[in-house]
């Protein structure tokens, strides 16, 4: 009897050990997945506005950015490092409205905003109105990890990040003829349309190819999410205007329990609807899917106010989502499964009547 009992006990122990090994294996398999999604701005991005060479150039740059972030995740690096790496590539490219390709404000100056958030610690860093830091996203991350604050602006932000060795450049570094000409064109238009209301004056800024804000969201092997956004803002914005990109909860938000998000579009509307946090709250407090949550905020909250733009999202399962109410959005994602998608133009499967012209 005793022998039988001992045998039973031994068998139970062996089987429970095996089960726990299996569980750990499964757990590791689940945790090891990772993904990254990026955007390069939303707006009137239509195939007819692009030559084949331009389309290729945008796609190539998005792919380089995706791969930079992906490599970090694949090597076991953190989501926040992947987000930074992906954004630095886009900031260094004159194709996008961030860093080197930043647009001009009404005074003919370039003022940049950026933010980054760690969804595990809920730490954030942001900078606004800077124009001497080569990569504003690195400045935002410096505010996150080297100051007690979350948002620094102008000279103060530049003094802090310079102290920590972030690369500074003369403001002339950011000049590109393309962006300067865009300002001249819009200044010309404004002279004619003097009677626009203050809000309406914001709208033409995104219609006329002034897109290019960049953002990234990543999910690393440890299950952490991070998000970041970087921009030159909107062409002809008022001197000192700050958009949604450095505003945590509007342009950027990350929380491991819900999702990570980066927004792009007419920032005033994303601030008024606290867009990124609103999507996260919908996921937290309702049973809504990320797809539905994005639709709710973009089409039922931002669009009725007159706002245009889009958002990219990774949820707590490493799944990738995006949506926008503009003609197109530069966008791409890459998952640990190897699946890679890069798109620029209109969503083919999207109901046309929801696209705001
Ligand atoms: N959201 C940015 C801003 O308002 C602009 C953009 O995304 O195109 O500054």
For the segment 75-90, what is each residue's pLDDT rounded down to a tens digit?
Answer: 999 999 999 999 999 9
What pLDDT is stored for residue 91 in this prediction?
A: 98
- List pocket residues of ligand 1, CB cut-off 6 Å: 41, 206, 211, 213, 231, 233-234, 243-245, 264-265, 267
What pLDDT is stored for residue 71 in this prediction?
A: 98
The verdict on residue 163 lying in a domain is no
**CB under 8 Å to 61, separation ≥6 — which residues?**
40, 89, 90, 93, 95, 96
User: Known catalytic residue: 213?
Assistant: yes
State the Cα–Cα distance between residues 239 and 49, nearest whole angstrom: 29
User: Is the pLDDT at 7 greater than 60, yes or no?
Assistant: no
State the Cα–Cα distance between residues 228 and 137, nearest whole angstrom: 7
What pLDDT is stored for residue 315 in this prediction?
A: 98
What pLDDT is stored for residue 5 in this prediction?
A: 56
The verdict on residue 13 lying in a domain is no
Range of the structural domain that residue 49 is part of:
33-138+172-345
Mean pLDDT (the chain) is 87
How many folded domains does the chain comprise?
Answer: 1
State the Cα–Cα distance between residues 83 and 81, nearest whole angstrom: 5
Please write the tens of the pLDDT for every residue from 211-240: 789 999 999 999 999 999 999 999 999 999
Choice among 52-56, 205-209, 280-284, 303-307 with the minimum mean pLDDT? 205-209
Query: Per-residue pLDDT averaged across 185-214, rounded?
Result: 53
What pLDDT is stored for residue 87 in this prediction?
A: 98
The verdict on residue 220 lying in a domain is yes
**CA 269 – ligand 1 centroid, Å:** 10
User: Is the pLDDT at 191 greater than 80, yes or no?
Assistant: no
What pLDDT is stored for residue 180 in this prediction?
A: 87
**CA 73 – ligand 1 centroid, Å:** 27
Mutate which of 95, 104, 233 to test ligand 1's pocket (most atoms within 8 Å of Cβ)? 233
What pLDDT is stored for residue 6 in this prediction?
A: 56
Pick from 255, 231, 259: which is nearest to 244 by CA?
Answer: 231
**Ligand 1 atom, smallest distance to 113 CA:** 9
Count of residues for the chain? 357
**CB under 8 Å to 4, separation ≥6 — which residues?**
none
Query: Per-residue pLDDT averaged across 88-105, rounded?
Result: 95
**CA 245 – ligand 1 centroid, Å:** 6
**CA 131 – ligand 1 centroid, Å:** 16
Pick from 40, 68, 91: which is nearest to 214 by CA?
Answer: 40
The verdict on residue 134 lying in a domain is yes
CATH at residue 242: 3.60.20.30
Shortest-distance Cα residue to atom 9 of ligand 1: 233
User: Is the pLDDT at 316 greater than 50, yes or no?
Assistant: yes
User: Is the pLDDT at 204 greater than 70, yes or no?
Assistant: no
The verdict on residue 183 lying in a domain is yes
**Ligand 1 atom, smallest distance to 241 CA:** 9
Q: What are phi and psi of 105, to 5 degrees?
A: -85, -175
User: Is the pLDDT at 197 greater than 90, yes or no?
Assistant: no
The verdict on residue 167 lying in a domain is no
The verdict on residue 6 lying in a domain is no
Query: Per-residue pLDDT averaged across 27-36, rounded?
Result: 71
Q: Are 144 and 163 in contact (CB under 8 A)?
A: no
**Ligand 1 atom, smallest distance to 270 CA:** 1
> Which of the pair, 143 or 22, is modelled with greater confidence?
143
């Amino acid at each position: 009897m005793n022998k039988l009992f001992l045998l039973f006990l031994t068998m139970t122990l062996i089987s429970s050990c095996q089960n726990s090994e299996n569980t750990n294996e499964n757990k590791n398999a689940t945790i090891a997945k990772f993904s990254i999604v990026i955007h390069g701005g939303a707006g009137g991005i239509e195939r007819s506005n692009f030559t084949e060479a331009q389309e290729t150039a945008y796609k190539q740059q998005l792919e380089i950015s995706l791969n930079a972030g992906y490599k970090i995740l694949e090597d076991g690096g953190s989501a926040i490092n992947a987000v930074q790496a992906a954004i630095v590539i886009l900031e260094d490219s004159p194709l996008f409205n961030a860093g080197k390709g930043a647009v001009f404000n009404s005074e003919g100056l370039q003022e940049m905003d950026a933010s980054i958030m760690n969804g595990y610690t809920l730490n954030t860093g942001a900078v606004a109105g800077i124009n001497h830091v080569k990569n504003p996203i690195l400045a935002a991350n410096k505010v996150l990890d080297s100051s007690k604050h979350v948002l620094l602006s102008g000279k103060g932000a530049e003094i802090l990040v310079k102290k920590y060795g972030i690369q500074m450049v003369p403001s002339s570094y950011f000049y590109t003829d393309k962006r300067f000409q865009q300002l001249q064109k819009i200044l010309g238009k404004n002279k004619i349309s003097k009677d626009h209301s203050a809000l309406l004056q914001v709208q033409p800024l995104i219609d006329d190819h002034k897109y290019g804000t960049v953002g990234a969201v990543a999910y690393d092997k440890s299950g952490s999410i991070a998000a970041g956004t970087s921009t030159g803002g909107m062409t002809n914005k008022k001197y000192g205007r700050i958009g949604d990109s450095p505003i945590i909860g509007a342009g950027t938000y990350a929380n491991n329990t819900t999702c990570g998000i980066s927004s792009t579009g007419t920032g005033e509307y994303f601030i008024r609807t606290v867009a990124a946090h609103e999507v996260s709250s919908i996921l937290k407090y309702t049973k809504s899917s990320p797809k539905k949550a994005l639709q709710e905020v973009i089409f039922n909250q931002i669009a009725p106010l007159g706002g245009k733009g889009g958002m990219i999202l990774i949820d707590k399962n490493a799944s990738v989502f995006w949506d926008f109410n503009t003609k197109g959005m530069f966008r791409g994602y890459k998952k640990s499964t190897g699946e890679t998608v890069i798109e620029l133009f209109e969503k083919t499967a999207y109901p046309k009547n929801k696209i705001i012209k």
